[in-house]
Amino acid sequence: MATVQSWGRYPYFPQDAHPVAWRDSAADVWRRAIGDAQTTLAFGNGRSYGDSCLAASGSVVQMLPLDRFMSFDGQTGVLRAEAGVTLGQILDLAIPRGWMLPVTPGTKYATLAGAIANDVHGKNHHVRGTFGRHVRRFSLTRSDGTQFECTPDSQPEFFAATIGGLGLTGLITWAEIQLMPVRSSSLDVTSIRFANLDEFFTLSEQFDAQHEYSVAWVDCSSRGASLGRGVFMVGDHANDDQLNVARRKKRTVPFTLPIPVFNRLTLRAFNELYYRRQTQREVRTKVDCESYFYPLDALLEWNRIYGRNGFQQYQCVIPPAAAYDATREILDTISRSGTGSILAVLKRCGDIQSPGLMSFPREGTSLALDFPQRDASNRSLFSRLDAIVRGGGGRLYPAKDAHMSGADFRAAYPQWEQIEALRDPAMLSRFWERTTRV
């Protein structure tokens, strides 16, 4: 039996993993995983950062071995696959045939079922919404032995509760999704260096509607007139009829570092160099899908750079009315703290509704940063950030969270009670226990 943990390695609660090799054995493995604890949780490829992927019992059902394609229609782009198939495996099959994931997060190592359970989003939320909007159907197995197919019209309550439902409604064993047609595996990208947060909002207002993808890197250590400076990047699939899956050389962080690589001095130096490396204000390039969507995937086990204590990601979304002031205050608070991230991602989400009950994205501005785990400083900083988010009517991302209070979660996601009503009694995560039972 293997031991698994969350990608952020915080909180540190290794899980005993019970692998499912075949769909028809899922119920038996589930019963073994439950054992004396009475509860368990599905676990994919461990790309969730906090404790939403950790079973309260410490025993999970490992779905990654369920990695088979069941059907693919090259004419319509409808694909059906088992729960453990990764997004990267889907791309390897789909791109040479002229199809692409309509929505993808920042890693291709997430599983299909994980993408549904967390209702992931990407750089084109303003155009295509969340992953859940492109799910046609899936099979759900419950601990009472029942198994049924969920669609928007058949079992609609379970369909809505499972998309973004954090894996609490049962085991997804397979899913069917609609892919999007593309004519190239490359993207035409325009990168624009901006001097401060005001320029970001101006650029986003001007360019988002004109492009499929839009996102910005922001220097979280900048201050004063340069607060929120960064690089704004918009992209569209090229039309060159070249459908090749790029194979980039991978590097691996070979061991967990004793302390984090980044501190106050190295963080500021890195951000300065990254901001200055684009010498022209505007640069146009053509890049492959992997470089554009998954830059961190080129460095395997990159979470090890944060040291033995791991890291936390802080990702929030603020509605439009408060977005500018709240984002400015958040960035100023982070900069003054002297900590932060080399990969701070800023983007505006659209108003396209998810079919899921508890999807994170909403219309507004999203900011995501990684912080090395330092108990005292993170607790103090996150408390101040939470107050800003709360005051702006925003919310945090459960799939990335390891600290959100129960009060903040329940206020930001009032649909949690509907999820709880449909939650399989044998499914319970540390996150759900922490935020709904305290």
Let me know if residue 282 belongs to a domain. Answer: yes
Same domain assignment for residues 139 and 110? yes
Residues 23 and 82 in one domain: no
**In terms of domains, do 190 and 178 share one?**
no
Cα separation, 31 vs 55, whole angstroms:
14
Q: What is the pLDDT of residues 194-216, one digit of tens each?
A: 999 999 999 999 999 999 999 99
User: Which pLDDT belongs to residue 370?
Assistant: 94
Write down the pTM of the prediction. 0.96
In a domain, 261, yes or no: yes
Q: The domain containing residue 76 runs over which residues?
A: 69-182
Whether 276 and 238 map to the same domain: the answer is: yes
Res. 247: pLDDT tops 80 = no
Quote the number of domains for the chain. 3
Q: Within this chain, do residues 75 and 59 fall inside the same structural domain, yes or no?
A: no
Q: Is residue 298 part of a domain?
A: yes
The predicted-structure confidence for 57-115, as pLDDT tens digits, reads as follows 999 999 999 999 999 999 999 999 999 999 999 999 999 999 999 999 999 999 999 99
Pairing of strands 59-62, 69-73: unpaired
Residues 336 and 380 in one domain: yes
pLDDT top residue among 269 and 111 = 111
Span 341-366, pLDDT tens digits: 778 999 999 999 999 999 999 999 99
Residue 271 is predicted with a pLDDT of 87
Residue 254: which CATH number? 3.30.70.2520
Is residue 420 in a domain? no
Say what the alpha-carbon torsion angle 255, 105, 175, 177 is, to the nearest 10 degrees. -150
Question: Residue 438 pLDDT > 90, yes or no?
Answer: no
Same domain assignment for residues 319 and 394: yes
The first and second tokens of residue 378, run together, are 């993170």
Choose one of 125, 151, 182: the last residue of a domain: 182
Q: Answer yes or no: are the C-beta atoms of 377 and 403 closer than 8 Å.
A: no
Mean pLDDT of the chain: 95
pLDDT of residue 245: 82
> Does 262 reside within a domain?
yes
Identify the domain boundary among 182, 204, 222: 182
CATH number reported for the structural domain that contains residue 129 in this entry: 3.30.465.10
| pLDDT band with cut points at 50, 70 and 90 for residue 269 | confident
Q: Answer yes or no: is pLDDT of 36 > 80.
A: no
Residues 76, 195, single domain; the answer is no
**Same domain (yes/no): 329, 244:** yes
Give the range among 259-263, 286-290, 366-370, 398-402 with minimum mean pLDDT: 259-263
Quote the strand ranges of 157-201, DSSP E: 171-178, 180-181, 186-194
Classify residue 415: in a domain, yes or no: no
Average of per-residue pLDDT across 308-331: 97
pLDDT top residue among 244 and 247: 244
Where among 136, 158, 182 does a domain terminate? Answer: 182
The C-alpha angle 316, 320, 326, rounded to 5 degrees, equals 55
